[in-house]
Amino acid sequence: MIFSSDSLLTKRCGRDIVHRWEQNPLIGINDLDFNCADIHNAGVVYFQGKVLLLVTIEYLTGHQGIHLARPTSDGNYKVESKPFLNQSAEHKYRRHESRGVLDGRVTFLDGVYYILYNAFGNYGYRLALARTEDFETVEHIGLISEPDTKAGVLFPAKIKGRYARLERPSDGSIWITYSDDLLHWGGSELVISPRGGFWDESRIGAGATPMEIDQGWLVLYYGVKDTSAGPIYRTGAVILDRQEPTEIIGRTNIPILSPRENYERIGDIPNLVFPTGALADNDGNLKIFYGAANSCICVGTTTIEKIVENCLESEVEY
């Protein structure tokens, strides 16, 4: 059982401060009782005493959907064969989700669980928002971004009285934008950009839902460095000011998690660790759920304290 006190994650590779679960992958394609092409990128939420995962499944057709994975009595996970969130049948959404929905991140806000996901259609990617209160039924709210926008995460609290989200438009930087009603968004501002010569020099995007800590907002993000052998996706972190999130408190100059194990280096997208969910306990221990090589779901642990130290000790190269 990955959440019991006697199953602490102890395997550490290289200099990563994230310790991998020794029984990774948590969920692989052979754990499903239905056929698919691959499984990746799990949003995570603590609901009624259980940790639920919203995993992206690519079907044999090439389309994608978001499925719910619930913990079983033996501590493993069972992925439901019926999609929890799939292409909408409503005409106004259909062409924008014709190729599927993917990469759902979950935010609990004002008594509702919001799922911010990528809608993939005939015109590329857009961000879309859905809501649920029971993880039995789900309601589409709408398309909430311009085309060619991905990696959206909704803040779990309003900032200066408005909803806020992070996103990655086409140029590969992380931006913040605001809304009064969750449907109409604007006032976009740049937060952080790729850094030449660093591990995140090609493009970046928000990963897990922002976490409020003493220093501000802790955001896990993925960074890409293009090499002659292909892109390498790593995980880093940034701390944003609580009320002025375009002000950077600290940012990791080295990744906190890099693809090192075979299940992270070999798959549909090699050399990839992609963090889309994280849960912290009252002692500051942090479990990070990430997609590996776009072929399985994995989990690792660290502490908020270690990540904060890593952010604050880095030279200012934002």
User: Coil, helix or strand for 306?
Assistant: helix
Respond yes or no on whether the N-terminal peptide bond of residue 259 is cis (omega within 30° of 0): no
Using CB atoms within 10 Å of the CB of residue 254, give its burial: 0 to 12 exposed, 13 to 18 middle, 19+ buried.
Answer: middle
Query: Which residues have a Cβ under 8 Å from the Cβ of 264 and sit 6 or more positions away?
Result: 271, 272, 273, 292, 293, 298
Report all structural domains of the chain as residue ranges with CATH numbers, in order of start.
Answer: 19-313 (2.115.10.20)
Residue with tokens 């003493």: 214
Q: How far apart are CA 212 and CA 41, in angstroms?
A: 22
pTM for this predicted structure = 0.93
What DSSP element (H or E) covers 185? strand 185-192
What tokens appear for 62 in the block? Answer: 């090439």
DSSP code of 171?
Answer: T
Q: How far apart are CA 68 and CA 87, in angstroms?
A: 15
Query: Which residues have a Cβ under 8 Å from the Cβ of 145 and sit 6 or more positions away?
Result: 126, 127, 152, 167, 185
Buried b or exposed e, range 31-58, using 16+ CB within 10 angstroms? bbeeebbbbbbbbbbebeeebbbbbbbb
Give CA separation, 162 vs 12, 156, 181, 212, 317, in Å: 40, 11, 8, 16, 30
Q: How far apart are CA 42 and CA 56, in angstroms?
A: 7
> Which pLDDT tens digits describe the chain residue by residue (318 residues)?
444 444 444 454 557 999 999 999 999 999 999 999 999 999 999 999 999 999 999 999 999 999 999 999 888 999 999 999 998 877 677 889 999 999 999 999 999 999 999 999 988 999 999 999 999 999 999 999 999 999 999 999 999 999 999 999 987 999 999 999 999 999 999 999 999 999 999 999 999 999 999 999 999 999 999 999 999 999 999 999 999 999 999 999 999 999 999 999 999 999 999 999 999 999 999 999 999 999 999 999 999 999 999 999 876 654
